[in-house]
Chains A and B, each alone.
Chain A
Amino acid sequence: AQSVAQPEDQVNVAEGNPLTVKCTYSVSGNPYLFWYVQYPNRGLQFLLKYITGDNLVKGSYGFEAEFNKSQTSFHLKKPSALVSDSALYFCAVSPSGNTPLVFGKGTRLSVIA
């Protein structure tokens, strides 16, 4: 069975500093990995995905994530955080593109001005 772990409930970072939101996964076979962001009372917005290819994936709003197969991790990063990045971030995994996603519990990011 697939699973995703986001070890941090909350991440606080100062505006302008780099940010990292951690994610590790467990899945049989080659994983489809995703990051989504959720603003209050809103649906999920897609940030980026890893299917195959380069381990460093670039996504929306300046975010990127690095796929590390040996560590089964897919951490989300951004070089310089903005206050507007404050939101709830979900890491998700799927064994294929057409199956439902399994989500981590989410990490709340607060960027402080």
Chain B
Amino acid sequence: GAVVSQHPSWVICKSGTSVKIECRSLDFQATTMFWYRQFPKQSLMLMATSNEGSKATYEQGVEKDKFLINHASLTLSTLTVTSAHPEDSSFYICSAPARGNTEAFFGQGTRLTVV
């Protein structure tokens, strides 16, 4: 199947700093990528849809100025958590649909801890 690579796998940062998470489609082009957030012992919640060459679409309640999404190429989308706070600590996962496939392919996830 198609491969989606997410980096880093885990990161610890201080409050007030920014953290960038990368999501790459390794063997296919992805005009769309999805960013999810997962709180401990909870399900995945869609944060935003990343669109190559245009602005991301954010779900209700997600601060677009805090969670900056850039989809600069057909194989890379980035999520930047700006001015991170401890409540931003979570597991972030990206996914991308591959043309011709009906299932989405997921990155490995990024465990963000803000101290």
Contact = CB atoms under 8 A, between A and B. Distances in A.
Contact of A46 (B9, B34, B45, B105): B105
A106 B49 contact: no
Contacts of B107: 43
Interface SS, B side: strand
Interface stretch (B62-70, B71-79, B96-104): B96-104
A45 B93 CA distance: 12
B34 A100 contact: yes
Contacts of B103: 34, 46, 49, 97
Nearest to A48: B103
Contacts of B95: 44, 100-101
Size band of the interface chain A makes with B: 20 to 34
Nearest to A96: B102
Contact of B108 (A42, A49, A98, A106): A42
Contacts of A74: none
A51 B102 contact: yes
B43 A97 contact: no
A42 B46 CA distance: 17
A104 B102 CA distance: 19
Query: Residue among B97, B103, B105, B111 with the most chain A CB within 10 A?
Result: B103
A32 B104 contact: no
Contact of A44 (B1, B46, B106, B111): B106
Nearest to B31: A98
B27 to A, nearest CB: 15
Contacts of B89: none
Interface string B1-43: 1001010011000000000000000000000101000000011
A43 B95 CA distance: 9
Contacts of A101: 34, 44, 46, 95, 104
A100 B36 CA distance: 9
Nearest to B91: A41
Given A42-B108, A43-B109, A46-B1, A98 B43 contact: no
9 contacts: A43-B6, A43-B93, A44-B93, A49-B102, A90-B43, A90-B44, A98-B32, A100-B104, A106-B42
